[in-house]
Amino acid sequence: MENQRICRKCLLKEMGETEFARIVEERLAALPDIVKTPEPEYQKRLAACRECGRLLNGMCALCGCFVELRAAKRVNSCPDSPAKWEAVPAEEFP
Each residue's pLDDT expressed in tens, for the chain with a length of 94 residues: 455 556 666 676 766 667 778 888 899 999 999 999 999 999 999 999 999 999 988 899 999 999 999 999 999 999 999 999 999 876 665 5
Half-sphere exposure of 88 (CA within 13 A, CB side): 20
Q: In 3-state terms, the chain is what percent helix, strand and coil (to 5)?
A: 40, 5, 55
C-alpha dist (Å) from residue 62 to 40, 67, 90: 24, 11, 25
Ramachandran area for residue 58 (φ above 0: left; ψ -120 to 50: alpha; else beta): left
Give this prediction's pTM.
Answer: 0.79
